[in-house]
Chain A
Amino acid sequence: MSGFFSSSRRRYPNRYQGSRHYRRKGLFGMFGSVSSSDRGYVTYPQQGYPTQQYPHQTYPQQTHTVGGAQLTCAKCGSHVPNGSKFCLSCGNPMGAQSVFCPNCGRPADPAARFCMECGAPIQR
């Protein structure tokens, strides 16, 4: 329901509900229909590297990334947010480049020795 409720405050449940609410299916049946007009192609703009395998496939440009940094996919050259196990453009596994801080759990730069968030050493 993220497209409907823009603020997380609205996703808090009503605290005063009773049996009329909890014994009904509620709003679950109202949302979620898939549009038949969806064609499927999605685009991920390349940062200076042409997409070799899927010339018409692009993924919407990320306005910000988790962890504040990006990697580069060795297969298609797309920027991949730190931590992602797969390139979000071509699906290529990122392997050892998917690194997370063992202490705080946040994605880490695979070249870093210490977590930029909590300072814990990144174990290898």
Chain B
Amino acid sequence: MIGGRFGVGDRIGGYVVSSRLGSGRYGVCFLAEDPSGRQVVLKRFRRRMLKRNAGRNHYEAVILSGLSHPAVPQLLGVVNDRTGYWFVLELQPGRSLKSWLFDRHREFTRREIVGIGVRLFDVVTYLHGRNVVHGDISIANVLYDDGMVSLIDFGLARYIGSRVGEVPADEIGLDHARLADVLLYLMYSCAGLSRGNRRAAWYDDLWLTASQRDCVKRLMGFGTPYADTASAAEDFRRAFADWLR
């Protein structure tokens, strides 16, 4: 550790830091290895964020403890020592869609977009079925690796309910809208999908069929919201089926 910053080779609770992955509002993430050589993610919380969010910081730990899905990272441990307060998380494969789009300038095909959409709906359907709203779906929090999709950063995830700290059931609309926003980012990367009208809203700019446009509009909050995520997923599959051909 140099100047208060962690670096390669630093030991955190039995884990050895390999590299820095990135940072966010919560703090910073590192890639590390456990004693057996397995790669893990160490998420260090900023002391200021822990104090500011006192009473809310445990949601991520509890919620991740109760989830089991290949697209969701497992909580592997908690470290609280002189180096700081850390979560140990399962490493999910791939890079973020944000990195693919804006660092690698990747253009996603229609088939890939539908594939990502289907897998995102699969994991979000699972979450909502466990009464969990992710709350922060974005291209920065969706990882993509050769067809595989993962959803990370459950820092804003909450249970659905009426107790303090829980969110109302219609909050699934937040996940729907943000999932649609991710799809729109992907669509705008796809050559030929945009009419090129820079002043137009997406629904007037993208080459979509009426059912496709209606599906994404509904996800975004126009008109009648989907009653549940399974219905939204089914409507998405139906509307975008021809993109798989």
Closest to A94 in B: B65
A107-B198 Cα distance, complex, nearest whole Å: 48
Return the contact of A40 from the options B77, B84, B199, B201 (Cβ within 8 A).
Answer: B84
A residues near B49, Cβ cutoff 8 Å: 3
Smallest beta-carbon distance A109→chain B, Å: 13
Check B159 against A60 for contact (C-beta < 8 Å).
Answer: no
Check A15 against B221 for contact (C-beta < 8 Å).
Answer: yes
Closest to B126 in A: A105
Binding site secondary structure of chain A:
loop
Q: What size tier do the contact residues of chain B reach?
A: 35 or more
B residues near A39, Cβ cutoff 8 Å: 4, 47
B residues near A105, Cβ cutoff 8 Å: 66-67, 129-132
A residues near B167, Cβ cutoff 8 Å: 8
Check A89 against B80 for contact (C-beta < 8 Å).
Answer: yes
A107-B130 Cα distance, complex, nearest whole Å: 10
Contact flags B104-119 to A (C-beta < 8 A → 1, else 0): 0000000000000000
Q: Does A16 sit at the interface, judged by CB under 8 A?
A: yes
Check B47 against A42 for contact (C-beta < 8 Å).
Answer: yes
Smallest beta-carbon distance A13→chain B, Å: 4
Contact flags A60-71 to B (C-beta < 8 A → 1, else 0): 111111111000
Closest to B49 in A: A3
Q: List 16 A-B contacts (CB under 8 A).
A: A8-B171, A8-B174, A12-B177, A19-B202, A32-B23, A35-B48, A38-B48, A42-B80, A54-B81, A60-B54, A62-B55, A62-B58, A65-B58, A66-B59, A66-B62, A83-B65
